[in-house]
């Protein structure tokens, strides 16, 4: 598990008047001002005990000050994200909020600009976020780069009864095995998170309440688990929200789906965050599910050489890509780079012919495999000769990236 309490920016002493325009809160009052802004901005925030900023860690909280008071706030959550079977250090940006009386005056843009510069200074390869609006984040170099969809299905339509594995409640002593299993599960799917403690906590709680955990095993070897919470509807029927699910084997997936089916006398609809590429859906005998997408997540390549050399690539491919990257916000990313692929790893050097010209925004969906070079060219985000685009398509090929968590 990634340590979410890594300090990106040391604690600061001193009075508010000495505080820089941007940085971690320097007092409890500043945290409260930020909490007030965030609550108003989102209408509702999970202030369950402990409150959001405390759960995330004060060292991961940033505020933007104006005239001595907090005007905007966000969270920077260090974790990892799996690409090509490797965990790339990633900082998730969450809870971006500007004081309501200062909306539309460029503060959101300034806050994101500061955050992106800080992440570059701390040598973060990539950063991801869930956008409520594209304009703000595109301005800071982010671009849609993957999906998170809601899967729903009727409990009485699952149609599976496979009890080969035993199912039992998760106990505290199971945590190390659960963490290990989740990592082994997630590394197979591009875009999945290599979770920090904060993400683990948020994933296993629903509106402040912990989910009920169940695992499936054989001879003491855990092969899958899920956490869920029942949700009582106004018509006194239950829905079941699966907060987290992982199955290392097909029989574990079938056992977990059987468990969900066993809820059918009381539960009408079961929901979880997944994707059309979710292997659980491939285990269903019939196409009885619906999929809704609330919108993509966005990615920012913060440090081009670090990002390109940190991810994994398909084994057995030898290739050389000449990239000409443009980045108005972070000039350190500007210029030609050569990406050399060999034995599943990438090596980056400055220089080369810059044959594939692209903005750093276009590099994000190429990097994750969300859009092919040809699709990016059609979207006006990349230009290059046909043979180079074909080579890039092979290098960045992979299943569509998806995420199951939120932050």
Residues lying near ligand COA in the complex (CB under 6 A): 41-42, 96-98, 103-109, 131-133, 135-136, 139
Shorter beta-carbon distance to ligand COA: residue 141 or 224:
141
| Residue 380 in tokens | 């006006």
Other beta carbons within 10 angstroms of residue 157's beta carbon come to: 15
CA angle 389, 390, 393 (to 5 degrees): 85
Instruction: List phi, psi (to 5°) of 50.
Output: -70, 155
Bridge partners (DSSP) listed for residue 252: none
Nearer to ligand COA, 25 or 108 (CB): 108
Nearest-CB residue to ligand COA? 108
Please identify which residue in the block is written with the tokens 């057995």.
316
Name which of 114 and 217 has its Cβ closer to ligand COA: 114
Distances, alpha carbon 34 to alpha carbons 57, 75, 282, in Å:
14, 11, 44
Q: How far is the CB of 3 from ligand COA (least distance, A)?
A: 25
Give me the least distance between CB of 102 and ligand COA, in Å please: 6
With respect to ligand COA, which residue has the nearer C-beta, 27 or 105? 105
Residue 262 CB coordination number (10 Å): 15
User: CB of 277: closest distance to ligand COA in angstroms?
Assistant: 25
Element (H, E) at 347: strand 345-350
Q: Indicate the residue among 76 and 310 with the shorter CB distance to ligand COA.
A: 76
Alpha carbon separation from 117 to 11, 12, 23, 299 (Å, rounded) = 18, 19, 12, 15
| Strand stretches in 27-68, DSSP E | 61-66
> Which residues on neighbouring strands pair with residue 172, listed in sequence order?
none
Min dist. Cβ of residue 346 to ligand COA (A): 31
Chain CA centroid to CA 14, Å: 35
Q: How far is the CB of 106 from ligand COA (least distance, A)?
A: 4
- Residue 93 CB, nearest approach to ligand COA (Å): 8
Smallest distance, ligand COA to C-beta of residue 87, A: 25
| Residue with Cβ nearer ligand COA (135 or 282) | 135
> Which residue's CB is nearer to ligand COA, number 51 or number 336?
51
What is the DSSP-derived secondary structure letter of residue 402?
B
């Amino acid at each position: 598990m990634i340590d979410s309490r890594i300090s990106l920016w040391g604690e600061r002493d001193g009075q508010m008047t000495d505080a820089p325009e941007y940085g971690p809160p320097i007092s409890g009052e500043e945290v409260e001002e930020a909490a007030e802004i965030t609550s108003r901005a989102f209408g509702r925030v999970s202030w369950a005990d402990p409150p959001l900023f405390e759960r995330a860690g004060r060292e991961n909280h940033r505020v933007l000050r104006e005239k001595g008071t907090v005007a905007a706030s966000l969270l920077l959550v260090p974790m990892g994200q799996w690409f090509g079977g490797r965990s790339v250090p990633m900082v998730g940006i969450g809870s971006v909020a500007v004081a309501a009386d200062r909306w539309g005056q460029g503060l959101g843009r300034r806050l994101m600009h500061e955050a992106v510069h800080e992440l570059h200074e701390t040598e973060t390869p990539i950063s991801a976020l869930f956008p409520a609006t594209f304009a703000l984040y595109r301005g800071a170099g982010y671009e849609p780069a993957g999906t998170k969809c809601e899967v729903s299905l009727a409990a009485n339509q699952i149609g599976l009864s496979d009890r080969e594995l035993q199912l039992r409640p998760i106990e505290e002593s199971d945590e190390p095995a659960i963490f290990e299993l989740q990592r082994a599960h997630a590394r197979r799917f591009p875009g999945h998170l290599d979770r920090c403690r904060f993400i683990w906590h948020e994933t296993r709680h629903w509106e402040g309440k912990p989910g009920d955990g169940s695992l499936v095993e054989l001879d003491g070897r855990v092969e899958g688990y899920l956490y869920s919470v029942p949700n009582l509807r106004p018509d006194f029927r239950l829905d079941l929200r699966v907060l987290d699910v992982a199955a290392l084997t097909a029989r574990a997936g079938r056992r977990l789906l059987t468990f969900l089916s066993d809820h059918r006398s009381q539960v009408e609809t079961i929901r979880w965050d997944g994707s059309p590429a979710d292997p659980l859906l491939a285990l269903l005998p019939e196409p009885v599910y619906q999929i809704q997408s609330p919108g993509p997540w966005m990615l920012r390549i913060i440090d081009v050489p670090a990002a390109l050399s940190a991810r994994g690539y398909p084994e057995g491919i030898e290739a050389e890509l000449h990239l000409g990257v443009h980045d108005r916000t972070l000039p350190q990313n500007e210029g030609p780079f050569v990406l050399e692929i060999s034995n599943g790893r990438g090596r980056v050097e400055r220089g080369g012919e810059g044959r594939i010209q692209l903005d750093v925004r276009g590099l994000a969906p190429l990097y994750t495999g969300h859009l092919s070079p040809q699709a990016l060219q059609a979207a006006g985000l990349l230009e290059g000769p046909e043979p180079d685009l074909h080579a890039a398509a092979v290098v960045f090929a992979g299943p569509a990236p998806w995420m199951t968590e939120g932050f």
